[in-house]
Amino acid sequence: MVSTTLNGEQLLRGAALHVTRPRVAALTAVYEHPHADTESIIGVVREDLGEVSHQAVYDVLRALTAAGLIRRIQPSGSVARYESRVGDNHHHVVCRSCGFVADVDCAVGTTPCLTASDDHGFAIDEAEVTYWGLCLGCSTALSS
Ligand SMILES: [Zn+2]
Ligand SMILES: [Zn+2]
């Protein structure tokens, strides 16, 4: 777990972004709630700052994603979710029933999935792999 002493201001400055309270609050929310969707993040930011518009939080999330401070994932059929674990090409396992998302490390360590069998001349920098299934809770509920 990431410690709660996360220095959002430092991260923002490191990414050449102006430090604003909504940015720090949203960044902290994503660090503390990996794979949270936008609505949940808005809820957490509001607990922190009081009334903040949806649009303001959307804009902040977009800026943080563009700056590479957070990563946006969107499993098909799911809403967008955000996480602070960036730059390691990890994958996700998604529950078909409840939508729970967990991290899965790359299968062989160094990003082998980036080695496409045919890259069509692209400079590939990311491979998106999503494993689908039922989480433990949902499969247990089904079998009992
Ligand atoms: Zn589930
Ligand atoms: Zn993740």
Contacts of 81 (CB under 8 A, 6+ apart): 35, 36, 37, 72, 73, 74, 75, 101
The band of 112, judged by pLDDT with boundaries at 50, 70 and 90, is low
User: What separation in Å is there between the alpha carbon of 27 and the centre of ligand 1?
Assistant: 26
Pairwise CA distance, residues 2 & 78, whole Å: 25
User: What separation in Å is there between the alpha carbon of 136 and the centre of ligand 1?
Assistant: 7
- Give Dmax over CA atoms of the chain in angstroms: 53
If one compares 85 and 118, the residue with the highest pLDDT of the two is: 85
Judged by its nearest atom, the ligand closest to the C-alpha of residue 34 is: 2
CA contacts within 13 A on the Cβ side of 41: 34
User: What separation in Å is there between the alpha carbon of 67 and the centre of ligand 1?
Assistant: 32
Judged by its nearest atom, the ligand closest to the C-alpha of residue 137 is: 1
Q: Where are the beta strands (DSSP E) in the chain?
A: 36-37, 71-73, 81-83, 91-95, 101-104, 130-133
Residue type, 78: S
Residue 48 main-chain phi, psi, to 5 deg:
-85, -45
pTM: 0.81
Judged by its nearest atom, the ligand closest to the C-alpha of residue 138 is: 1
Residue 3 main-chain phi, psi, to 5 deg:
-70, 155
Judged by its nearest atom, the ligand closest to the C-alpha of residue 132 is: 1
The band of 140, judged by pLDDT with boundaries at 50, 70 and 90, is very high
* pLDDT tens track for 13-68: 999 999 999 999 999 999 999 999 999 999 999 999 998 999 999 999 999 999 99
Judged by its nearest atom, the ligand closest to the C-alpha of residue 95 is: 1
User: What separation in Å is there between the alpha carbon of 96 and the centre of ligand 1?
Assistant: 7
